[in-house]
Amino acid sequence: MLTTEIHRDLDSTLDALINDEQIVAIFQNHSEWGPRALGNRSIMFDPRHPNAKNIVNAVKKREYYRPFACTVMLEHANDYFEMLQLPESPWMSFAIQCKPKALKDIPTLVHADNTCRIQTVTEEQNKNYYNLIKGFYERTGVPIIFNTSFNLGGEAICETIYDAIDTCNRSMINHLYVPEDQEIDIPWECVRDKTEYIEMFEKVIEIESEKFEESQ
């Protein structure tokens, strides 16, 4: 039986992201109001993974050519992106030219025009999300996380913990991070076996990868 694993601690969440190469969703605080997911209702993945875009596209049911975004620790943004006179980008509002380091470390997030839509984050802005990226950086040397909204294609972004678990039940999002400082009662009875979905999603990933290769 395969079910979604719900994490309350940071270390096991990072293990899932890095060691197990798994998609992880984060659910905390209030949902974002606006066009972007900024770390309260986000799907995350290791941006170094060579097939990251195809894997997440399969989960999100997105077209293969659409760009993805990332979140970077503010103090490292200039190492990867041409920030110029822009002091920060906390709302993921700008597509910014990438530096060679981005092409080397996170090539799957660099769009065809050499840009990436980025969110910068500080500990003051979003403590749990910042600390997750900081932990990722300490383990991998890359201060960036692949970030997209916590929803499936054609659906609204998850609002409640019930929405979050239901979305995981119906997808290859096998890990859900609910930080331990969140006073949320986990409805464990809603976590269901999703073995039947896995074979289907693996086929979708194979198809998406073939489309991407043909487009090159």
Beta-strand runs (E) in 35-143: 41-45, 69-73, 94-97, 115-121
Location of structure tokens 């331990």:
180
- Asked if 118 and 54 count as a contact pair (C-beta separation under 8 A), the reply is no
Neighbouring-strand partners of residue 24: 44, 175
Radius of gyration of the chain (CA): 16
Minimal CA–CA distance to 25: which of 145, 150, 125? 150
What length does the chain have? 216
Q: Is the pLDDT of residue 200 over 80?
A: no
**Angle separating helix axes 52-60 and 195-215, nearest 10 degrees:** 130
- E strand map for the chain: 5-7, 24-27, 41-45, 69-73, 94-97, 115-121, 144-149, 175-177
* Residue 208 confidence (pLDDT): 66
Spatial separation of the C-alpha atoms in residues 161 and 103, rounded to whole Å: 36
Query: Would you call 96 helix, strand, or coil by DSSP?
Result: strand
Percent of the chain with pLDDT over 70: 94
Contact 159, 184 (CB under 8 A): no
Other beta carbons within 10 Å of 112 = 8
* pLDDT score at 216: 63
pLDDT digits (tens, 9 = 90+) for 144-187: 999 999 999 899 999 999 999 999 999 889 999 999 999 999 99
Domain topology for 5-215: DHBP synthase (3.90.870)
Of 109, 3, 102, 113, the C-alpha closest to 57 is: 109
Predicted pLDDT at 40: 98
Evaluate the CA torsion angle 100, 104, 106, 107 in order and state its sign: positive
**Contact status, residue 27 vs residue 163, Cβ threshold 8 Å:** no
